[in-house]
Amino acid sequence: MSVKKPFKVIPLGGLGEIGLNMMAMEYDDSIIVVDCGLMFPEDYMLGIDIVIPDVTYLIENKDKVKAFILTHGHEDHIGALPFILREVNAPLYGTALTIGFIKNKLEEFGLLEQTTFNVAKPRDVVEIGPFKVEFIRVCHSIVDAVSLAIQAGDMTVIHTGDFKLDQSPVDGEVTDYARFTHYGEQGVTLLLSDSTNVEKGGMTLSESLVGGYLEEIFRDCEGRIIVAAFSSNIHRIQQVIDAAVKFGRKVVLNGRSMVSNIAIARSLGYLKVKEDVLLDIRELADVPAEELVLLTTGSQGEPMSALTRMAMDNHKQVKITEGDTVILSSKFIPGHEKAISSMMNHLYRRGAEVIYEKVSEVHVSGHASAEELKIMLNMVKPKFFIPVHGEYRHLVRHARLAKGVGIPAENVLVIDDGDLVEVTSDKMELTGKVESGRVLVDGKGVGDVKEMVLRDRRHLSRDGMVIVVVSISAKTGDIVTGPDIFTRGLVTEEDSEDLLEVARVSVIEAIEAVNTEVRSEQLEIKEEVRLAIRRLFNKALKRKPVILPVIIEI
């Protein structure tokens, strides 16, 4: 009697956290990787631009890695590719918009020529080594999202990716219930399902409802309308443009990712807009306020984003004035609440009216709520179940929900990043642990992604550290004490007094160059200090230390 080969499931990111989604699947001598996402830094990760998964396991087994398969084009599912592909180069598989976004990203990093792209359509089946993978259409907050049905040996594993069961999507492309049911009838060994929205009861509202609420707002606005949204949410952008056209307004795009993503979506036919509707931002002054919609990035209050610069009154082309209406048409991502709140306060200071999720239905989630998760479980009818994509409490609640619809408790497993799970047609067990974790990426300059370098904690320590401590008056924004500058692993303070004095002057000049109102915003001050010190040490020493500004309000 031959021993059954196990199907190995190895999450390298996305379990116990929001973002960083990455799942290795191994059978026989082959590995495929589902998604390759990043995570934006948490508050304590000072000086860090993005966070990506530790892929030591893939590097150690790079000869086995046959493909990266991408479920959709969000940053938390594709954003780490430019860094990971340098270490583990394998062909990419995804739908047209997903591959379009990836190509745009890889071009900035000079990786287009060495990367193999494979575009798949929903219901396409591809064979990769011992794996047979079908792409199944699902609805999400981005066009062209898919789930994956992965077959190897006598086993079938379904990975939902991010999904919701939208009954009236903007483009009319509903989730492919027939394929999920087909596999459910044939027999699914393991289901890996999105847990992000498990805490919300009922069903997630349809994306198409947002269009109606946007039209109501547009109907009542007499001045300029500024809409901040994720540049990847093509359906949302389509509805903003449709509302603008309905009320005789032109649309101006602002933000590099907004311009590039819309261009990609239009070229692939996913976004329908007449040429005369879109204007260049240089034509802004030629359009009366009541005939204008500005579609911009920056809905999360990012320090250097277009909308934050408008709020702080230091945007080159756009000045917020009395009568403007600003619509934040996106979710407040956990950890960004303070920055968003601060940005909204400054928009109100400029005289704008701000409309956001808590006061109007200008955003709906792209993730399935509890009842939809039950429907997915009942369609697929898996023998074994592992919840994915979510913080640990989400995974636990999703596991309980699965047990509630009849999956035996012994067939449900809650796991962490790095856990190695082996599955056969009649058994699922946790058999080990692989190296996993978070790798920190620090950029040479804000937005200068071409020069971004990948460094783990050891690399960071070798590059050294600069700590800048300065006390600022909470009332006036003036420097009270400092700046005091400390270095570790970079230069000795005794041998570099002149350089450190220049650094102190640079910090003072950077802070004094910021207008008084903005000085009350620690994120803004920290960013200016970090840029000033980074430029100085890069020019003087050709070194790229981690810079940690500490601002103390007195």
Of 194, 324, 419, 442, the active-site residue reads 194
| pLDDT confidence of residue 42 | 63
CA distance 22 to 12: 5
Q: Which of 122-131, 285-294, 303-312 has the highest mean pLDDT?
A: 122-131
Domain boundary among 355, 380, 404: 355
C-alpha separations of 148 from 74, 93, 101, 124 in Å: 16, 11, 19, 10
99: pLDDT strictly greater than 90: yes
With bands split at pLDDT 50, 70 and 90, how would you rate the model's confidence at 462?
Answer: low
| pLDDT confidence of residue 23 | 98
- 49 and 118, same structural domain? yes
Name the amino acid, one letter, at 542.
K
C-alpha separations of 137 from 182, 234, 355 in Å: 14, 16, 32
Looking at the 3D structure of the chain, how many domains does it have?
3
Name the amino acid, one letter, at 161.
G
Tell me, yes or no, whether 15 lies in a domain: yes
- 423 and 294, same structural domain? no
- 423 and 481, same structural domain? no
Mean local confidence (pLDDT), 58-78: 96
Q: Which two tokens stand for residue 422?
A: 């082996």
Tell me, what DSSP letter sits at residue 139? B
CATH value at residue 256: 3.40.50.10710
With bands split at pLDDT 50, 70 and 90, how would you rate the model's confidence at 45?
Answer: low
pLDDT digits (tens, 9 = 90+) for 339-375: 888 899 999 999 999 998 766 678 889 999 999 999 9
Tell me, yes or no, whether 447 lies in a domain: no
453: pLDDT strictly greater than 60: no
Percent of the chain residues topping a pLDDT of 90: 62
With bands split at pLDDT 50, 70 and 90, how would you rate the model's confidence at 452?
Answer: very low
- Containing structural domain, residue 495: 464-553
CA distance 327 to 253: 15
CA distance 205 to 367: 10
- 307 and 288, same structural domain? yes
- 171 and 37, same structural domain? yes
Mean local confidence (pLDDT), 504-527: 76
Residue with tokens 């290795």: 24
The size of the chain, in residues, is: 554
- 127 and 14, same structural domain? yes
| pLDDT confidence of residue 446 | 27
More confident residue, 189 or 444: 189
| pLDDT confidence of residue 492 | 62
Q: Which of helix, strand or coil describes residue 109?
A: coil
Is 162 labeled as catalytic in the residue annotation?
no
H/E element, 400: helix 392-404
Of 72, 235, 367, 389, the active-site residue reads 367
For residue 55, give every residue at least 6 positions away whose Cβ sits within 8 Å of its Cβ, in sequence order, or none. Answer: 12, 22, 84, 87, 88
Task: With beta carbons less than 8 A apart as the criterion, state whether 326 and 355 touch.
Answer: yes
Is 367 labeled as catalytic in the residue annotation?
yes
Tell me, yes or no, whether 453 lies in a domain: no
Domain boundary among 383, 404, 439: 439
